[in-house]
Amino acid sequence: MSDLNRRDPRLAWILRNRLHPRHGELSGQPTRGPTGLLRKNPRPQWQYGPSGVRRLDRLQRGAAAGVSRLSVNKRHEQPALPVHRVGEPQAYIAVWLQTSGGRLTPHCKDVLGQAQQLAVAREEPTAVLGVLCGELKDPVDGAGIDRLLQVNGEAYDGYQPEAWTTLCTQVDAALQPLCWLLPDSGTSAELGRRLGVNLGERPATGVWKIDADTVLARNGAGNLDISRPRSRVMLLLEECALPCGEFRYEVRPMTLTLTAPTGTRLEDLGPVAVDPAEIPLAEAEFILAAGNGVRDWPQFHRAASVLGASEGASRVAVDDGFMPRNRQVGATGTWVSARVYIAVGISGAVQHLQGISKCEQVIAINRDADCDMVKRANLTAIGDSGDILAALLQLVATRATREVSDAA
């Protein structure tokens, strides 16, 4: 009996469950296979990210050093990365820093990753210069910025494509960067095209691969890849490169003497209040989605309304008639790209996970700590959906009361 090699089901469960407090500690260790042989996972460091791209999991390295991977408090205790320095740059690669709510967008981080690849491939010291109008809320030392030119002022606030183009043109004249890289999305897509006109360059748009002399650009409504010569202004698609992650970068501030932009200033009248329920799911930034684990539907709708979230649903919730078909998220529903996606009582079937692969932050509310949605989520609340939503509503009500009394 004692000669039998037995697998420890508890250990196997911990290894499958990324949220277990001992997961990090145990996952790096060799485990006993079905034949009794000790086996070491040859791919302990790699994970597949939401977009299907293989990424190095740095927290796993932390685990090897005895740091629990998913302990939120300890996330910042990762081993310090080496600093990447460019002493006296002989050349610059300029990147327009696209932000959302004061934070670099994931698209911009991919572009910075591409810029660093181009910079390190050169023989002479080349710095990645980030050009930014506005404020940054989070530290960006991991993003790949060697030099930062940050410009603030009313002339550049809000949506000011003409002022931004003038700024970039002045930077171009002063520093003569080798090329300009911009995310081909949102306002930076427009800026890139304007900058191309100003610099007399034909911009390369929809670029997803940059070779020595040529680029591959996606065109023809996304069905065609065109190889064309490199341009000094290149607009890059998302996932053109992996974001930086090997180093901390200096982010050394730069100053330039700039003349204030002249010309038409667009007056930003601020965001228009919209009913979150009216926003098409594909465009919604904040989604509260319900699945088969929701029991109290009026409470769910109340929570969405109080939080100002657009409502989404799993197919089961739709098939059961609790939510309209146009709110279904997933492979056969809508593919969403919200900044925050809260999944209430959704198990995380593969068809549903496909639909949320582009979401930035996923929060799972579920009774089952082992379900796939919990594995996908950045943050999890384990418990009954009704209880957790009730606590959330209570919290919002308390905050609102406190704000009213503070204001009085």
Per CB under 6 A, residues contacting ligand FAD are: 291-293, 295, 314-317, 328-333, 345-347, 349, 351-352, 355, 366-368, 371, 384-385
- Distance of closest approach, residue 243 Cβ to ligand FAD, in angstroms: 28
Compute the least distance from the CB of residue 383 to ligand FAD, in Å. 7
Nearer of residues 157 and 372 to ligand FAD, judged by Cβ? 372
Q: Please classify residue 263 by burial: count the beta carbons closer than 10 Å to its beta carbon, then call 0-12 exposed, 13-18 middle and 19+ buried.
A: exposed
Nearest alpha carbon to residue 132 among 190, 84, 188, 174: 188
CB of 13 to ligand FAD, least distance (A): 16
Nearer to ligand FAD, 206 or 291 (CB): 291
Q: Of 13 and 46, which has the nearer Cβ to ligand FAD?
A: 13
Q: Closest Cα to residue 184, out of 270, 107, 266?
A: 107
The residue of the chain with the least Cβ separation from ligand FAD equals: 330
| Shorter beta-carbon distance to ligand FAD: residue 1 or 350 | 350
Report d(CA 230, CA 129) in Å as an integer: 19
CB burial class (10 A; 0-12, 13-18, 19+) of residue 29?
Answer: middle
Minimum distance, C-beta of residue 106 to ligand FAD, in the bound complex (Å): 23
Q: What is the dihedral of CA 193, 194, 197, 198, to 10 degrees?
A: -140
Nearer to ligand FAD, 162 or 384 (CB): 384
What is the helix (H) or strand (E) element at residue 132, kind and residue range?
A: strand 126-133
89's CB contacts (< 8 A; 6+ apart) are 125, 126, 127, 146, 147
CA atoms of 137 and 251, how far apart (whole Å): 14
> At its nearest, how many Å lie between ligand FAD and the CB of residue 386?
6
**Dist CA 101 CA 285 (whole Å):** 12
Closer CB to ligand FAD, residue 18 or residue 352?
A: 352
CB of 39 to ligand FAD, least distance (A): 31
State CA 207 to chain mean position distance.
19
Which phi and psi angles does 214 have, rounded to 5°? -120, 165
User: Least distance in Å: CB of 220 to ligand FAD?
Assistant: 28
User: Do the beta carbons of residue 145 and residue 254 sit within 8 Å?
Assistant: no
Closer to ligand FAD by Cβ: residue 147 or 376? 376
- Compute the least distance from the CB of residue 363 to ligand FAD, in Å: 13
CA–CA dist 166, 154 (Å, integer) = 14
Q: For residues 243 and 355, which CB has a smaller minimum distance to ligand FAD in the complex?
A: 355
